[in-house]
Amino acid sequence: MTSTQSTTTQTVDVSTGVRLEYSDVGVGEPVLLIMGAAGSLGVWGPLEPAVSAHRRALSYDHRGIGASSRGGGEITTASLADDAAALLDARGIATAHVLGWSLGSAVAQELALRHPDRVVSLGLYGTWARLDGFQTAVLGAMRHAWDTGDLESALGALGLCFSARMLNAPDFQQQLESFLPLFPQTTDQARVVAEQWEAVFAHDTTDRLASVAAPTLVISGEEDLVTPRSRCEAVARAIPGAEIVHLDGPGSAHALHLERTDEVAAAVTSFWDRHPLTDGSLR
């Protein structure tokens, strides 16, 4: 057992042929938290304890990140969704609320489409169905350093996920130094992140989102350069009955759960309260 920012983690072998590092804390209805590209489960920061205060929060590292093994096969949002379903199996969870951020939101979309019986409700932020030209330009700049193995530049480019308020804060450098260890530090893991970027660019659920049956909440940030509000709105329009919450003003950048934790937690908690499990969540 290891600890990441006071989060105790374990590993488990799952049916997709990988060993996943995970954290499983709290009691109550289960919530599966699906992380974005490059990040380890510690990047959930203050959101995980906000969730686990009243529910069971299950977070994990994608294959090849942290203590999770890479395994074989191509990394796609669909294959990562199958990993997520396999983790639910391994933890004895039949159904869960699912909350995905960034790459994790794309994986969550695929989970709801490929394994609809596992998803009680779907929460998406920093989300998109297919990259547009603007995103391709921004994300291409972020991706390039991972493709070339320039870890220093790759980690620096993650600043695009944050708002001007955070980047200009007097203590930002101190925050950054404590935050960077939560991201890949080895060339092997950098290669996995490059594969994750391939998955981001290939992701396309445009013609399938209408089939999502789970109640869905989309959260958008006014200052999000990575997944602009219009892309989040397009996802909400495509999913029948989806609700959307807009966060505006300072701190409403891509990493909403780190800069606007209380509002994100309030939005998802209210949504979960209105869409409780109707059957047992444990197998």
User: Mean pLDDT across the stretch 35-52?
Assistant: 97
Confidence at residue 3, expressed as pLDDT on a 0 to 100 scale:
34
pLDDT of the residue at 7: 73
Question: Angle 133-148/187-202 helices, nearest 10 degrees?
Answer: 160
Domains and CATH numbers, the chain: 2-274 (3.40.50.1820)
Both tokens of 148, joined, read 């070339």
Q: How far is CA 146 from CA 30, 65, 121, 150, 179, in A?
A: 33, 14, 33, 6, 18
Residues 163 and 225: beta-carbon distance below 8 Å: no
With a cut of 70, say whether residue 25 has pLDDT above it.
yes
Does residue 168 register a pLDDT over 90? yes
Q: How confident is the model at residue 2 (pLDDT cuts 50, 70, 90)?
A: very low
| pLDDT of 282 higher than 70 | no
168: helix, strand or coil: coil
pLDDT on residue 278: 82
Mean pLDDT in the chain? 95
Through-space distance between the first and last CA atoms of the chain, rounded to whole angstroms: 25
Report percent pLDDT > 90 for the chain.
88
Determine the Cα–Cα distance for residues 111 and 82; give it in Å rounded to an integer: 7
Predicted confidence at residue 175, as pLDDT, reads: 84
Instruction: Return the number of other C-beta atoms located less than 10 Å from residue 12's C-beta.
Output: 17
Do the Cβ atoms of 160 and 138 come closer than 8 Å?
Answer: yes
Query: Which tens digits make up the pLDDT trace of 96-149?
Result: 999 999 999 999 999 999 999 999 999 999 999 999 999 999 999 999 999 998
**Residues 243, 160: Cα–Cα separation, whole Å:** 26
How does DSSP classify residue 6?
A: T
Q: What is the pLDDT of residues 242-267, one digit of tens each?
A: 999 999 999 999 999 999 999 999 99
| Contact in structure between 121 and 272 (CB atoms under 8 Å) | yes
For residue 125, the surrounding DSSP H or E stretch is strand 119-125
pLDDT classification of 85: cutoffs 50, 70, 90: very high
How much is the CA Rg of the chain, to the nearest whole Å?
17
Joined together, the tokens standing for residue 55 give: 């529910």
Q: Which pLDDT band, with edges at 50, 70 and 90, does 281 fall under?
A: low
At 50, which amino acid appears? A
Beta strands 2-4 and 7-13, pairing class: antiparallel
Residue 283 has pLDDT above 60, yes or no: no
Write the CB contacts of 183 (distance below 8 Å, at least 6 apart in sequence): 38, 39, 40, 43, 155, 158
pLDDT (0 to 100) of residue 72 = 98
Q: What is the dihedral of CA 162, 146, 205, 105, to 10 degrees?
A: -40
Q: Could you report the per-residue pLDDT of 179-226, keeping only the tens digit for each?
A: 888 999 889 999 999 999 999 999 999 999 999 999 999 999 999 999
DSSP-based three-state secondary structure for 18: coil
Distances (CA, A) of 248 to 101, 169, 237, 270: 18, 19, 20, 19
pLDDT score at 118: 99
pLDDT band (50, 70, 90) for residue 20 = very high
